[in-house]
Amino acid sequence: MTMTALAESIRSGLQAIADPARAPAMQAYMKSAMPYMGVSAVPLRRFCASAFAGLSWNDSPAWQGDVLAIWRSAQFREERYAAIALASVPAAGPFQNTSALPLYEEMIVTGAWWDYVDAIAGLQLWTLLQNDRPAMAEAMRRWATDPDIWKRRSAILCQLRAKAATDVDLLYACIEPSLDSREFFLRKAIGWALRQYARTDPDEVRRYVSRNETRLSSLSRREALKHIKDPA
């Protein structure tokens, strides 16, 4: 994809603050085919906050176009992190509804790795769920049965921030199709989602784990119960 002026400025700005000596270790840690420039998390956040300050869009297609221009033209992983950051700037707030779901779906499916997917599921999908719950809940139930494991993982993780606002029926509906999966990233997601909800309702998570003892993997059970104390 042809780079836009914004995408070009993001690349050049990131390269200016990169430490190339760090890049190989970052790539090895993430097991990434796409190389890194060598920009660590804190400088990246600061750069994005500065680079995106003052941006605004007249409509959702214009905002989505800027996000996708950075995402699709990326040659380095930090550029895609910047695209995810642009997707969540306050100025994009009016566009955070189900019309943005195809944008996030593309990023999840083409990103196809946990660092991208977890960031998008944990924040952007949760924001959409809050803003348009009936339509998003239906979409997440569909994603939970999708052949793509990253869409399944996203559906399981979309309520990580929900706390007391967790839709428990939706959480369990998104977990159910993957309960018998042997896929590590789905097993880990199930345990993580349950562990997060256990901070709000440990008794319910304990009951759920007990009811599904024979189906939950040992990894999912261990993660789900990690911070739950045994009853006296």
Domain assignment of residue 86, given as a range: 1-95
Instruction: State whether 106 and 161 are in the same domain.
Output: yes
**Tell me, what CATH number does 204's domain have?**
1.25.10.90
**CA–CA separation, 126 and 120 (whole Å):** 9
C-alpha–C-alpha distance, residues 232 and 227, integer Å = 15
pLDDT in tens, 123-173: 999 999 999 999 999 999 999 999 999 999 999 999 999 999 999 999 999
Confidence of residue 232 (pLDDT cuts 50, 70, 90): very low
Asked if 48 and 83 touch (Cβ cutoff 8 Å), the reply is: no
How far CA 167 is from CA of 7, 134, 231, in Å, comes to 37, 11, 25
Q: Are 200 and 174 in contact (CB under 8 A)?
A: no
Task: Write down which residue in 39, 71, 95 finishes a domain.
Answer: 95
Structural domains in the chain (count): 2
127 and 167 in a single domain? The answer is: yes
Identify whether residues 133 and 48 lie together within a single domain.
Answer: no
Cβ atoms of 155 and 137 within 8 Å: the answer is no
Q: Is pLDDT of 231 > 90?
A: no
21 and 131 inside one domain = no
Convert the pLDDT of each residue in 190-200 to its tens digit: 999 999 999 99
Contact 11, 3 (CB under 8 A): yes
> Are 70 and 102 part of one and the same domain?
no
d(C-alpha 230, C-alpha 232), whole Å: 6
Residues 84 and 100 reside in one and the same domain: no
Co-location of 130 and 198 in the same domain: yes
Indicate if 52 and 112 belong to the same structural domain.
no
The last residue of one of the domains, among 95, 123, 154, is 95
User: Does residue 63 sit in the same domain as residue 174?
Assistant: no
